[in-house]
Amino acid sequence: MLELNFLRENREEVEQRLNKRNIDAKTLLDTARDLDDARRATQTELDARLNELNGLSRTIGDLMKAGKKEEAEAARARTTELKTSTAALKDKLDSAEKALHDHLCTIPNAPNAKVPVGKTPEENTVVMEEGAVPVLHDGAKPHWELAEHYGLFSLDLGVKLTGAGFPVYSGQGAKLQRALISFFLDKATEAGYREIIPPHMVNAESAFATGQLPDKEGQMYHATADGLYLIPTAEVPITNLYRDEIVEAAQLPIKLVGYTPCFRREAGSYGAHVRGLNRVHQFDKVEIVRIEKPENSYAVLEEMVEHVKGLLRALELPYRQLLLCGGDMGFASAMTYDMEVYSAAQKRWLEVSSISNFETFQSNRLKLKFKEEKKNRLAHTLNGSALALARIVAALLENNQTPEGIRIPKALQPYTGFAMITR
RNA sequence: GGAGAGGUGGCAGAGCGGUUGAAUGCGGCGGUCUUGAAAACCGCUUUACCCGAAAGGGUAACGGGGGUUCGAAUCCCUCCCUCUCCGCCA
């Protein structure tokens, strides 16, 4: 949620930035201003009445103490009108606040100046590309066929247990999964991130604070009996650790990392491009989260990208970095880089990481501030996948296949305990 | 699941209808003293919003929500949470 005051004081800038999303920013902002004006007027009036009522109550108290019963009764009579009018004004204020809040919830974050204009993924900017695309042997297979051949994971078994899109990993496939998680966690820990194991379900408050509710309600699994949501990413519980907190400036930066399974309902879309591990309802991901001072956040975004690049290099995967255009960015983000790896058998790029700066969009909902020189300021939050497993596995299997088996990158071998996946 | 106790400021802990946003202690910040430090002493020390150029003024908040009352941290209802005992259990 954008900050109301920032939005009022920097109207021109915010409108220009929002326009990159191809939305009617002018109308959205005009409405916000009007709703806020109405709210302020109501509160000013309410406060004045309440002030009067409080004064009367104090007078009555004093008169009672002094034993002046008749005068107290007279004063009491005058409170009746005030009580009904303040009650009405309170209702009016409540609905004005709700209307404003609901409206603000519909406004996405304002893209950073560097974000390119564009409507579709085709208009994203390729920032850089690195690593050689491997030349595969004849008869190279896509990863779902490799999985079957080597017994690494099964989607059919997942259907039996749960439904479509829930892979069951086994044998070397399961070991590879665990190896990657450990490898990513260790790398993040080396880089100074503190490891967190959070709950895999969150309440509605948490889901709201990071921006999943109300706009992405349909994408989360919802346990209605308890009002809980299965997390779509570790970002949700980990960032919410700092909900309703005011931290000392000296405590920043806060660097957290967590591994969790991620659950996504992902309505729609079937066919070849969602086969295998390309798009599943449950996958594993290691997420890095940062809480930063505003003046540092964009440098930190680049630092996080470098961290992810380091992982991809260590895994010897060809990858590219994309700067998302306004039309392709997530609702809560001010600027997002996507990292994609090339999956050689499918001959396509797979998104394996999304690294975003949310500026104060999340912290405003979280009420996450830091104290600097006696002033409380909203912190900037950032997060990024480092990395998302399922698609990394897909690329790893496809790119490293040989007639003799599937080669495990050197960096990973200490974690897997084997150098080659074989039958 | 059954029975009981309780949720107050950064922490501990009073208050149980009338200037109580809240005693007191600890912690923190500033000052006096000191060669320096400690001790002692003095002052300050929650958050959000509204009006205002500012100075300043006002409103709200004692787990959440609702009610009673001229007035509630204090009384009532309800929900949530924590603790103790019993039961069950990875």
Nucleotide nearest to A48 in CA–C1' terms: B58
Greatest Cα pair distance in chain A: 103
Contacts of A341 (CB under 8 A, 6+ apart): A312, A317, A318, A319, A349, A350, A352, A391, A392, A395
Residues A326, A366 share a domain: yes
Asked, for residue A109, whether it belongs to a domain, the answer is no
Identity of the amino acid at A204: A
Residues A136, A77 share a domain: no
Whether any strand B atom is under 7 angstroms from the Cβ of A376: the reply reads yes
Residues A150, A69 share a domain: no
**Could you tell me the residue range of the domain that residue A85 belongs to?**
4-104
Residues A127, A96 share a domain: no
Asked, for residue A112, whether it belongs to a domain, the answer is no
Interval A383-394 mean pLDDT: 94
The total domain count for chain A is 2
User: Which nucleotides of chain B are near protein (any atom < 7 Å from a CB)?
Assistant: 18-19, 47-51, 57-60, 70-71
Domain termination residue (choose one: A76, A104, A132): A104
Q: What percent of chain A has pLDDT over 70?
A: 99
Asked, for residue A116, whether it belongs to a domain, the answer is no
Interval A16-31 mean pLDDT: 95
Residues A193, A56 share a domain: no
- For residue A259, is pLDDT > 90? yes
User: Which pLDDT score is estimated for A65?
Assistant: 77
User: Which pLDDT score is estimated for A297?
Assistant: 96
Domain termination residue (choose one: A104, A134, A168): A104
Whether any strand B atom is under 7 angstroms from the Cβ of A64: the reply reads yes
Confidence of residue A272 (pLDDT cuts 50, 70, 90): low
Asked, for residue A283, whether it belongs to a domain, the answer is yes
Residues A128, A81 share a domain: no
Residues A125, A45 share a domain: no
Whether any strand B atom is under 7 angstroms from the Cβ of A68: the reply reads no
Nucleotide nearest to A54 in CA–C1' terms: B71
Whether any strand B atom is under 7 angstroms from the Cβ of A44: the reply reads yes
- Give the distance, in angstroms, between residue A418 CA and nucleotide B61 C1': 60
pLDDT digits (tens, 9 = 90+) for A293-328: 999 999 999 999 999 999 999 999 999 999 999 999
- Give the distance, in angstroms, between residue A137 CA and nucleotide B40 C1': 84
CATH number at residue A126: 3.30.930.10
Residues A291, A157 share a domain: yes
Residues A343, A252 share a domain: yes
User: Which pLDDT score is estimated for A50?
Assistant: 93
Residues A201, A63 share a domain: no
Residues A87, A226 share a domain: no
pLDDT digits (tens, 9 = 90+) for A110-163: 999 999 999 999 999 999 999 999 998 988 999 999 999 999 999 999 999 999
- For residue A267, is pLDDT > 60? no
- For residue A373, is pLDDT > 80? no
- Give the distance, in angstroms, between residue A64 CA and nucleotide B37 C1': 56
Q: What are phi and psi of A222, to 5 degrees?
A: -120, 120
Q: Cα dihedral angle (A231, A237, A238, A240), rounded to 10 degrees? A: 140
Pick A266 or A151 by higher pLDDT: A151
Question: Is residue A352 a contact partner of residue A395, using CB atoms and an 8 Å limit?
Answer: yes
Pick A371 or A262 by higher pLDDT: A262
Asked, for residue A111, whether it belongs to a domain, the answer is no
Nucleotide nearest to A83 in CA–C1' terms: B70
CATH number at residue A66: 1.10.287
Interval A351-375 mean pLDDT: 92
Residues A416, A273 share a domain: yes
